[in-house]
Amino acid sequence: MKRFGLVLLLSLSLSLVPAASAQSKDDLALRSIAQTLLDALAHGDTMAWERNLHRDFLLTDESGNVVPRSQMLSWLRALPADRADRIRLGRTIIRRIGNVAILYHRDVEHADIAGQPIDAEYQTTDTYVKVGGRWQLLASHVMALPQPRKPANIDTSKLQETEGTYELQPGVTYTVRVDNGRLVGQRSGNDPEVLLPASTDVFFREGTVRGEKLFTRDAEGNVVALVDRRDNIDVVWKRVSR
């Protein structure tokens, strides 16, 4: 009885080997295609894309536009073939269900613009389908990841002009003060945050890449409001005290 159980266990174990091997081969194939497409993109090579794109392919680009296969290929054909850019496939997560695979990968591009080295980072979600034994890219969503923002040099003596309390609605305020030559803001009920200058009246929260805080002035140059801007959507806080 024990021997029968051992034989059954060995049989089950052996039956899993081809599946694991197939999974490994699929993952390797998907990673290879993803890097091939990045190489082709960097060098303006359309053949690799034509070969690996599904006929119903759609791209959601960095600006939120939905781009069909034909438009994507036309854009690729317009790229110069001698570009020196390099795009490396970064950390990749693969999820497969049957003949569908999702790849999440973060990629780094090294480019040169007029002698200036540029590094850019992208987060991409790709959907592949297996057709006739070959993986084809059906959909892709690309996000450009902004680099950390750098503060500008401004006249810090003007920071005091922004000090005061700004109100969004009764009970919801944002207090601005100068602390050791830096602007600090604090929303009611929240911890204080350092505001770094993008220009004299435009600031951003330290450690963030989205959103700005703009101080608006009246005809006499007095600060009258704080505009909280994110993705070009404005929320205005009125100055209620200095």
Residues comprising the chain, all counted? 242
CA-wise closest residue to 223 among 188, 176, 178, 179: 176
Domain shared by 83 and 197, yes or no: no
- Has residue 216 been placed in a domain? yes
What whole-number distance in Å separates Cα of residue 123 and Cα of residue 107?
A: 6
Per-residue pLDDT for the chain (242 aa), expressed as one digit of tens each?
444 343 333 343 334 434 444 558 999 999 999 999 999 887 778 899 999 999 999 999 999 999 999 999 999 888 776 566 789 999 999 999 999 999 999 999 988 888 888 889 999 999 999 999 999 999 999 999 988 899 999 999 899 999 999 999 999 999 999 999 999 999 999 999 999 999 999 999 998 888 999 999 999 999 999 999 998 999 999 999 98
pTM of this structure: 0.76
Query: 114 with 231, same domain?
Result: no
User: Residue 123, SS3?
Assistant: strand
pLDDT at 85: 78
pLDDT digits (tens, 9 = 90+) for 69-112: 999 999 988 877 656 678 999 999 999 999 999 999 999 998 88
Cα 141 from chain centre: 10
**The domain boundary residue, chosen from 100, 124, 145:** 145
Question: What one-character DSSP code corresponds to residue 27?
Answer: H
The pLDDT, as a whole number, for residue 23 is: 57
Q: What is the pLDDT of residue 16?
A: 40
Q: How many alpha carbons fall within 13 Å on the CB side of residue 148?
A: 5
105 in the same domain as 22:
yes
Cβ atoms 11, 3 nearer than 8 A: no
**Residue that terminates a domain, selected from 126, 145, 164:** 145
**What local confidence, expressed as pLDDT, does residue 10 receive?**
34
Containing structural domain, residue 176: 156-241
The residues facing 195 across adjacent strands are: 183, 205
